[in-house]
Structures are given as structure tokens and as C-alpha cells.
Chain A
Amino acid sequence: MNWYGIKAIYIHEMERFRRTLFQSLASPIITTSLYFVVFGSAIGSRITEIDGINYGSYIVPGMIMLTILTQSISNASFAFYFPRFTNTIYEILAAPLSSFEIVLGFVGAAASKSLIIGCVIILTANFFVDVRIDHPLLMMFFLILTSITFALFGFIIGMYAEGFEGLQIIPILIITPLVFLGGSFYSINMLPEFWQKISLLNPVLYLISGFRYSFYEVSDVSLFTSTLTILTILIGCIIFITYTFSKGYRIKD
């Protein structure tokens, strides 16, 4: 293993995060605060509780998931697309690094950034509502696994994107709607039966549900299904990246 190489990519990416620390943290903090004002206070005054949990507290795991998903994707996709855009990718390709090591460096950094932001959001949420974490280890398991999985997904976008607009299309058109419709701010039990069934087709629902279980022991679907879903997405991303890298697609043509 080229540990120095992995470390170089990781530190290089984290350094970028450090340089833009204020923007990186300010944006999720402000967004979270706004969600609390809009959803927590405005809607929360009408919906006091869901599954016995105060509405403001109930939406915390969903908000964290929303941020983790979007941040992991955007961090990883930008991190890998940027050297492609500036052509500095030549150096990574010419270095004695395996595709696994390259992915580890980029995805590790993107996932770390998301984890830091996730922790900041939990702290921010504490200013607005009481946040209880019944299963901290399970919470960390979902947080880490989701960060890694969606950083891998972002890495794929970074490999395929043709321009900066391409980096935004999937997060805006697919991921954000899936998160909003995946029970971030409500329980699917509140929906009519038809829409409950439709919601079950949304993989993000399982992630949010599992994550919420680690906080309050309430969930829309079983913990096993949630874990299986995140692991399936993770393995799917790994297989896709391995295949793409082995063919050198878009990078080594």
C-alpha cells in the first residue's frame, strides 16, 4: 500500500476544507438554523409530536442526513472533478497509486468533511431542541457508512461529469428530492397508503429511518432493512468505481 500517497491526497483535500472553513461550516449551520425556524417553529407549532417525539427533535436526524448526503456528494465529486478540470490529474495517474488508494484518499477526505459537518449540525441542533441519542454507536455507524457511501457516489459523479454543471444535476434533481420525500421531516405513516408504498421505493427513506432509530428508537422500516440498504448502495458504488477505473473510462482514454 502507498500510505504516503493516500495521506498526500487526504491532507491535500482536507487543506482545501481548512482554507474554506468558514464557507464550509457557515452554510450548513445557517441552513440547519433556517430549517429549525421554518419546520421546527412554524410547522412544529401545528405538529407537536410524531411517534411520541417532539417534532423539532424528530426532524434532527433527517436534517443531518440531508446535509451528510449532499455534502458527501458535492465534496467528493468536486474533489475528483477539479483535478480533471485543471488537468492536474496527470500527477495522480502517473503516481504509483492503485485505483483503490486513489479512491481511499479522495473518499476518505470527503467523508471526513461530511462527518465534521454532521457533528457541527448536531451541536447546532442542540441550541434549538433537545437531541437525545439512544444508540451512539449505531448513530456513528450510520453516519460514517452514509458519509462513505455517498462520497463514493460523489466520486462517480466526479469521474463522469463533463462540466461543473454536471456536478450539480444529480444532487439537485435526484438526491435532494429523495431526501425530502424520504421522511426527513415527517413519518411516512402520516401519508396516505398509496404514497406510503411509493415512499418504500425510495432508498433514502431506509437511511433516514435507520439513522432516526439510533436517536429515538423510532423508525418507519426495520433496522435490518436500513442497514442492508446502505450496505447495498455502498457495495454497488464500489463495484461501479472498480469497473470504471479498470477500464480507465473518461480518465485514461
Chain B
Amino acid sequence: MKNILEINSLTKFYKNSVKALENINLNIKEGEIFALLGPNGAGKSTLINSICGIVNFNTGTIKINNMDIVKNYRTTRKITGIVPQELNLESFETVWNNVNYSRGLFGKKPDYNYIEKLLKQLSLWDKKDNKIKELSGGMKRRVLIAKALSHQPKLLFLDEPTASVDVELRKDMWDVVKQLNEDGVTIILTTHYIEEAEELSDRVAVINDGKIILVDEKDKLIKKLGEKTIKIELFEPIKKINGNLSKYNFTLDQTNKIISHTYNLNSNTTDITELLNDVKKDGYEIKDINTEQSSLEEIFIKLIKENNNELVRN
């Protein structure tokens, strides 16, 4: 699949010479959902804002559909939409005016049928004549999405799309994002919620201190860096660890009935067969076996910790 976005050697310094982005190289494939993960101040929003033309960058190139975003800003911006992190809306305007205004800004002829369809799709149609100040936080977030989609972009940036929305609404938003992607929109989202990246994204990048420290397919990343834990539940509690089981570095729960053994999927040996055999050899009957895989969140925390340690060492 062709790249819809190509970023090469992108660097951005703020006015006070604070480095915001350093040598960013990133390609986004058409049609994918890409998640950009990173702690606060890592540079996620700055990267998105640089791509969308909201902030200037110092060096490097950004291409959308193989066109330079500075030289061909009219063409590239026409196919790009952004949903900001904050609920930045004009409180005294109606939903209808707000969304139509956005379409106009992006150089599109008014299309009231499309806006009606869009508002219905986002469950905003019955609120179209309401002023923004009369809407709940979740509804405002939807208005921001409607505004970003008003000009039918091919590439959509969602900067923390579900920040400060309740769980139910978050799931609704995920459905909206999935639907948009099915309709052919390439989506790049930044998020604090690893669960969100895990649920939605095809690929993930981790950004820390203005640098991208990892880009990979989500599933591969989980597989590559993930640890698994096998939980063996016994009928009888282990009284004393001796015999064959003493060679393992496992933990026991409070009842002494559940053995938790962690192993890495990438290592050549996982000891699982041997462990199960030794449990049996030591005379314990197995009641149940359960495995748990490390989440993207655990991987993310591990990566950031490693990266921060490396930064301190350097």
C-alpha cells in the first residue's frame, strides 16, 4: 500500500531553543490507523501540528500524497483534517454554522446534504441548532470531529480524541473512528490510553523527548516485546517449595495455590513443558491453566523507562 504521509528528518525547536522534535522519520500507509504514543510533552501534538501547518518546523520535509506540505499547502491541506486535543470551539455559534464554516475554510462549496448526513452519523443532527455552549463535553468532541470531516479529508489527525470523555462515550468514539477508517480515511491518533491504541490501531509509534523510539505493527510489537505469564492453579496449596520446583523463579499467590511464571515469547525456551512436568512430579494436581500477555501499556512503560535511562546515561 502506498504511503499517504512521509516525514523525513523533521526537526522543530521552539523560540526559546527548546527542542520539540528531533530527526523524525515516519511513513504512514494509506488506509491504516496509526497510533502515536508518548508521555506528556513528548512531542505528539507538536508533530501533528507541524504536519497540519499549525506550527512551523525548522528542518526536514513532510509530504502528503507525495506532495510537499509547504510548497503544495493548498492541495495537501484540502485532504487533511484535524481534531484538536482541547475543546476549541466558538461557544456562541450553532453546531450547524460551526460545521459549515469549517467546510468553507477548506475551500469546499457548501453541501448541506453532506453536512446533514455527517451530523446524523455523529448523532448531532438533533443538536444542529444548539449553540456550542449548550452541549456536553462529549457532544463538543463530536462537533470537533464533524468539523474536521466537513471537507471530506483523506487523512485525519485525532489528537487525544477521547481525552476526558466517559467510558461509554469512548467506545462510541471508537466505533466512529473504525467506521471512518472503513470508509477509507487514514487515521493518525495520539493517545494516552493504551487501551485505545490497542483497540484501534494497525501500527504504533512511541515518541519520547521529541524522538520516535519505535515504530511497529501493534500485534508484532506486543509479540516482540511482550512477556507472557502462565498461571497454574492447583487443587492443594504448596506447603514448601523444594524438589523439582525449587529451580524455578515463580511467584505464589496468598493461598499458595496459584503459581505465576513469566516468560518471554522471543526466548528459545519457555520452560513451560518442564514446569508442568515438574509440578506433576512433585505430586501436585493441576486444576486450571491460564496465560496472560503483557498489554501495550506495559510495553509502553517499559520502553519509555528504558529510553529515559538511556537519556540519563548519555
Give A residues with C-beta under 8 Å from B. Answer: 2-5, 7-9, 11-12, 15, 19, 83, 86-88, 90-97, 248, 252-253
Contacts and interface: CB of A to CB of B under 8 A. Distances in A.
Given A95-B77, A96-B78, A252 B105 contact: no
B108 interface: yes
A144 B97 CA distance: 29
Given A7-B104, A8-B105, A19-B92, A94 B14 contact: no
B86 A253 contact: no
B105 A5 contact: yes
B104 A8 contact: yes
A94 B104 contact: no
A4 B107 CA distance: 5
Interface in B146-163: 147
Interface of B: 14-15, 49, 52-56, 73-75, 77-78, 80, 82, 84, 86, 88-93, 97, 100-109, 147
A11 B90 CA distance: 15
A94 B52 contact: yes
Contacts of B75: 96
Contact of A90 (B73, B82, B93, B108): B82
Contacts of A83: 90
B15 A253 contact: yes
Contact of A96 (B55, B74, B84, B100): B74
Of all A-B residue pairs in the complex, the 9 with the closest CB atoms, nearest first, are A8-B104, A95-B105, A87-B88, A96-B77, A96-B74, A2-B107, A94-B52, A248-B56, A252-B56
Contacts of A4: 104-109
Nearest to B82: A94
A87 B88 CA distance: 6
B53 A86 contact: no
Contacts of B53: 93-94
B54 A88 contact: no
A162 to B, nearest CB: 15
Contact of B105 (A86, A97, A248): A97
Given A95-B105, A97-B107, 4 more contacts: A4-B104, A12-B97, A88-B89, A92-B105
A86 B88 contact: yes
Contacts of A95: 77, 105-107
A252 to B, nearest CB: 5
A79 B84 CA distance: 21
Contacts of A9: 105
Nearest to B75: A96
Contacts of A253: 14-15, 55-56
Nearest to A6: B104
A5 B55 contact: no
Contacts of A7: 104
Nearest to B77: A96
A88 B90 contact: yes
15 contacts: A2-B107, A3-B107, A5-B104, A8-B101, A8-B103, A87-B86, A87-B88, A88-B89, A90-B52, A90-B84, A94-B77, A94-B80, A95-B106, A97-B105, A253-B56
Contacts of A91: 88, 102, 105, 147
B197 to A, nearest CB: 23
B104 A252 contact: no
A113 B55 CA distance: 31
A8 B107 CA distance: 9
Contacts of B84: 87, 90
A129 B108 CA distance: 49
B109 A15 contact: no
B73 A96 contact: yes
Contacts of A94: 52-54, 77, 80, 82
Given A4-B108, A91-B147, A86 B80 contact: no
A88 B15 contact: no
A243 to B, nearest CB: 15
A88 B97 CA distance: 14
